[in-house]
Amino acid sequence: MHIHKYEKIWLVFGIGCLFVFLTIIGVSAFAKGNQPPSCLTTIDPEKVDQTPPFNKPGLVKTGDNEYQLNIVASAFAFTPAQVEIPKGAKVTINITTKDVIHGFEVAGTNINMMVEPGYVNSFTKTFDKTGEYTIVCNEYCGAGHHMMTGRIKVVDKQ
């Protein structure tokens, strides 16, 4: 069987690429421990109100200047809708939803999570600047989607 020279080059290039990509994925997954985000913690979406920590949504102090912020999203609100965070605090935000897919974006920051029923999504951030941040739902979730907002106030420590 005769294979044209250009076809050979192309075949070698294609197979080479395949090995390079598989190696990159393999190293990042098995050696570096990379995993797809946010699909690790599951929750029964019908029992969010009874499942800690979402049975008591809000800010919880977990250490020296460290906090956990547990938020429940539902059509069409975040609970709690207003949070005060001391400046410089390292906050791990945990969020889940009781009904449909919502978004959790804190405008002006790099916090942007998808909130899916059955899953808990988390993000850790240190709030270094005082000010007010608007939380928006950026996934269309129904008739009240455009009204689904919240607020984070970063305040000076007393």
- DSSP of 47-93: GGGGSTTTTS-EEEEEETTEEEEEEEEETTEEESSEEEEETT-EEEE
Q: Between residues 13 and 140, which has the closer beta carbon with respect to ligand CUA?
A: 140
Pairs from 111-116 (Cβ < 8 Å, separation ≥ 24):
112/138, 113/38, 114/38, 114/139, 115/73, 115/139, 116/38
Does residue 48 bind ligand CUA (CB under 6 A)?
no
SS3 132: strand
> Which is nearer to ligand CUA, 3 or 143 (by Cβ)?
143
Strand 41-42 vs strand 112-115: parallel, antiparallel, or unpaired?
unpaired
Choose between 98 and 102: whose C-beta lies nearer to ligand CUA. Answer: 102
Structural element, H or E, at residue 35: none
Q: With binding defined as CB under 6 A, does residue 141 bind ligand CUA?
A: yes
Interface stretch with ligand CUA, choices 6-14, 28-36, 54-62, 140-148 (CB under 6 A): 140-148
Give me the least distance between CB of 144 and ligand CUA, in Å please. Answer: 8
Contacts of ligand CUA in 80-139 (CB under 6 A): 102, 137, 139
Is residue 140 at the binding interface for ligand CUA, with CB under 6 A as the rule? yes
Binding site for ligand CUA (CB under 6 A): 76, 102, 137, 139-141, 145, 148
